[in-house]
Amino acid sequence: MTREPLHVVLLDTVTAVEPRHAGAVVVTGSHGGASVVHYARAVPARLYVFNDAGVGKDEAGVAALAELERHGIAAATVAHDSARIGEARDAYDHGVVSRVNRQATALLVAGRALRPQIEALSSALSFALGSGLSSVLSSGLGSEPGSKPGSEPGSTPDSAAPGSPGIAVTDN
């Protein structure tokens, strides 16, 4: 059985999300406001991560989480004081998860660093595939059947737990 890496796409803006990102963990530098919902709904990712932008008046900086939850899409934010707004790489490397919607609670925990949690997803996927439990996780983790995550230009494997399929991180 070939084990593909968990594909993580880093996008400074969610407006750059493309159909080829379907099934990936999409970490953005975008705020988590209502205007991002259209883009997230257009491409079915495993998980979307935004910046909470300080949350703002009437929680405008995290408004997308509730709307995406209504559509069954896992989404989370990182704290604005842990990662620069507009810089996905900083969110991935230094972001601390501030909020998660209901679908994302199975994937991330608020108050903890984002990157190690994504690395743990990769390890969980490896365990599930190795244990014959891939059907349990197929709707929540991993890559789409037939796709080759990490094969795009600019894709680089990042660190992952020993024995895991790894993580292919693409800066787009």
The share of the chain scoring above pLDDT 90, in percent, equals 66
142 vs 29, residue with greater confidence: 29
Alpha-carbon Rg for the chain, nearest whole angstrom, is: 15
Confidence of residue 144 (pLDDT cuts 50, 70, 90): very low
Answer for the pair 7, 170: CB distance below 8 angstroms, yes or no.
Answer: yes
pLDDT digits (tens, 9 = 90+) for 22-73: 999 999 999 999 999 999 999 999 999 999 999 999 999 999 999 999 999 9
69 vs 1, residue with greater confidence: 69
- 10 Å CB burial of residue 127 (0-12, 13-18, 19+) is middle
* Range scoring the smallest mean pLDDT among 33-42, 111-120, 147-156: 147-156
> 3-class SS at 75?
strand
